[in-house]
């Protein structure tokens, strides 16, 4: 009788390299130099791509585009923790993930130009088309993980969404199902503090998003989302646990969207320049470079090569993209189902679209 405590929870926060580039000595030790260089190269590639995409958009050569600037560590740290056979379920801001998985850059550009063929995923990459309706892809990740479990495949699914996405029913139903079935799924919330103009504080009164994991009976952790090592480590651990049958994990990457929401947005309408400036000081590349310098991993020569290689890759992709032949109008109808209905065939004829 009376009142008693029946459950206790603790939420942990993980950071391996801080804003000043100082690393936790015990946690950094397991990171081989090669991996750190991989982080660096992927961030450079992502930034290079992102900047070019933004300028292409300004020139009218792409449609509305969602910049990834500031969130590279969340995406690259987690994507590099994936293994072959794992599946990825991205939202619309995961350029860093696509690039890290080796997704053809020209296809990414093509997608943002407004071409469905940009999301005709190459056979050797297990990623879903980007999800435009926020949060709706979360149950898909649970479903794929469920299928892996049923089929006995020792893989996991990895799902990306934002702080805004965590308010949707899909988040709740998807994570809850994953918890009940103990599915091999890892959920990564990139809490970039904003959902267009709505600040995190207005998205939920919960102090963190990570703590929601306990609603579903599994573990959650908040990670410094601008610390690529921290993100890698948390994701790697979560994926391993998932594949061993330990069930899902929710990882909140605490980060910041340094650019406008998309190129159609003007963030100066709703947030202060000081806030952005403050977060620029915490961005993921600077601290990684300091760390690499200290470790002697960042020669001028190396940096130059990495930059040039990234630039060359993106340049080549832009050329490929622009040389790509346009779709046929018929394609609007052709991929609806495995075969055309009589009405669709008639429509193709009536519209004069048959090839």
Give the footprint of a copy of itself on residues 8-67 (CB under 8 A). 8-18, 22-24, 26-27
Interaction of residue 169 with ligand TPP, rule CB under 6 A:
no
Query: Cβ closer to other proteins: 21 or 217?
Result: 217
**Alpha helical stretches, state H, 101-197:** 105-113, 138-151, 169-181
136, burial (CB in 10 Å: exposed 0-12, middle 13-18, buried 19+): middle
Q: Least distance (Å) from Mg ion to the CB of residue 162?
A: 4
Interaction of residue 217 with other proteins, rule CB under 8 A:
no
Question: What residues numbered 171-230 form the site for ligand TPP, per CB under 6 A?
Answer: 192, 194-196
Q: Which of 58, 270, 335, 346 is an active site residue? A: 270
Interaction of residue 270 with a copy of itself, rule CB under 8 A:
no
Residue 180's CB: how many other CB atoms inside 10 A? Answer: 12
- Out of 9, 59, 326, 355, point to the residue binding other proteins (CB under 8 A): 326
Q: Which partner, ligand TPP, a copy of itself, Mg ion, none, binds residue 4 by CB below 5 to 8 Å per kind?
A: a copy of itself
Query: Cβ closer to a copy of itself: 180 or 264?
Result: 180
* Cα angle 286, 47, 256; round to 5: 65
202 catalytic? Reply is no
Sequence-ordered list of residues with C-beta below 8 angstroms from that of 236, at least 6 positions apart, any chain: 81
7, burial (CB in 10 Å: exposed 0-12, middle 13-18, buried 19+): exposed
Q: Check if the beta carbon of residue 44 is closer than 8 Å to that of residue 73.
A: no
CA dihedral 262, 264, 267, 269 (to 10 degrees): -160
Interaction of residue 137 with ligand TPP, rule CB under 6 A:
no
Query: Cβ closer to ligand TPP: 31 or 161?
Result: 161
Interaction of residue 135 with Mg ion, rule CB under 5 A:
no
Q: Which partner, a copy of itself, ligand TPP, other proteins, none, binds residue 1 by CB below 5 to 8 Å per kind?
A: a copy of itself
What DSSP string describes 236-252? Answer: HHHHHHHHTT---EEEE
Q: Least distance (Å) from Mg ion to the CB of residue 95?
A: 15
Query: Cβ closer to other proteins: 121 or 286?
Result: 121
Query: DSSP state, 129?
Result: P
Query: Cβ closer to Mg ion: 163 or 260?
Result: 163
Query: Cβ closer to Mg ion: 185 or 195?
Result: 195
- Out of 162, 230, 237, 284, point to the residue binding ligand TPP (CB under 6 A): 162
Question: What residues numbered 170-229 form the site for a copy of itself, per CB under 8 A?
Answer: 170-173, 176, 179-180, 182, 202-208, 211-212, 214-218, 222
Q: Which of 47, 110, 212, 257 is an active site residue? A: 257
Question: What residues numbered 171-200 form the site for Mg ion, per CB under 5 A?
Answer: 192, 195
Length of the chain equals 355
- Out of 85, 122, 133, 169, point to the residue binding ligand TPP (CB under 6 A): 133
Query: Cβ closer to ligand TPP: 133 or 245?
Result: 133
| 3-class secondary structure per residue, 38-84 | HHHHHHHHHHHHHHHHHHHHHCCCCCCCCCCCCCHHHHHHHHCCCCC
C-alpha span between 274 and 123 (Å, rounded)? 45
C-alpha span between 21 and 311 (Å, rounded)? 26
C-alpha span between 170 and 156 (Å, rounded)? 19
C-alpha span between 38 and 89 (Å, rounded)? 22
Q: Which partner, a copy of itself, Mg ion, other proteins, none, binds residue 192 by CB below 5 to 8 Å per kind?
A: Mg ion
271 catalytic? Reply is no
Q: Check if the beta carbon of residue 89 is closer than 8 Å to that of residue 130.
A: no
Q: Least distance (Å) from ligand TPP to the CB of residue 263?
A: 13
Interaction of residue 268 with other proteins, rule CB under 8 A:
no
- Name the residues that contact a copy of itself, by CB under 8 A: 1-18, 22-24, 26-27, 167-173, 176, 179-180, 182, 202-208, 211-212, 214-218, 222, 247
Active site residues: 257, 261, 270
């Amino acid at each position: 009788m009376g009142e008693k405590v029946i459950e206790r929870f603790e939420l942990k926060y993980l950071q391996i390299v801080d804003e000043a580039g100082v690393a936790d000595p015990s946690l950094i030790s397991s990171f081989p130099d090669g991996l750190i260089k991989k982080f660096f190269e992927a961030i450079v590639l992502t930034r290079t791509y992102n900047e070019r995409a933004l300028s292409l958009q300004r020139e009218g050569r792409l449609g509305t585009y969602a910049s990834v600037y500031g969130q590279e560590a969340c995406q690259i740290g987690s994507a590099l923790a994936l293994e072959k056979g794992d599946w990825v379920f991205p939202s619309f801001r995961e350029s860093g993930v696509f690039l890290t998985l080796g997704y053809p850059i020209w296809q990414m550009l093509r997608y943002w130009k407004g071409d469905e063929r940009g999301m005709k995923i190459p056979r050797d990459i297990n990623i879903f088309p980007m999800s435009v309706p926020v949060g709706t892809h979360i149950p898909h990740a649970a479903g794929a993980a469920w299928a892996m479990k049923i089929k006995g495949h020792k893989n996991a699914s990895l799902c990306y969404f934002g702080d805004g996405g965590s308010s949707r029913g899909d988040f709740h139903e998807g994570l809850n199902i994953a918890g009940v079935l103990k599915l091999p799924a890892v959920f990564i919330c990139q809490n970039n503090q904003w959902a267009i103009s709505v600040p995190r504080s207005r998205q939920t009164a919960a102090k963190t998003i990570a703590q929601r994991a306990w609603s579903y009976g599994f573990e959650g952790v908040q990670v410094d989302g601008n610390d690529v090592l921290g993100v890698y480590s948390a994701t790697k651990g979560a994926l391993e646990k998932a594949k061993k049958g330990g069930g899902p994990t929710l990882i909140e990457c605490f980060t910041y969207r340094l650019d406008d929401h998309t190129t159609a947005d003007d963030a100066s309408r709703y947030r202060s320049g000081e806030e952005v400036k403050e977060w620029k000081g915490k961005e993921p590349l600077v601290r990684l470079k300091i760390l690499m310098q200290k470790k002697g991993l960042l020669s001028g020569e190396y940096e130059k090569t990495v930059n040039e290689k990234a630039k060359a890759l993106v340049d080549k992709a832009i050329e490929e993209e622009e040389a790509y032949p346009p779709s046929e109008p018929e394609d609007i109808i052709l991929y609806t189902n495995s075969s055309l209905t009589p009405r669709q065939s008639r429509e193709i004829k009536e519209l004069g679209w048959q090839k």
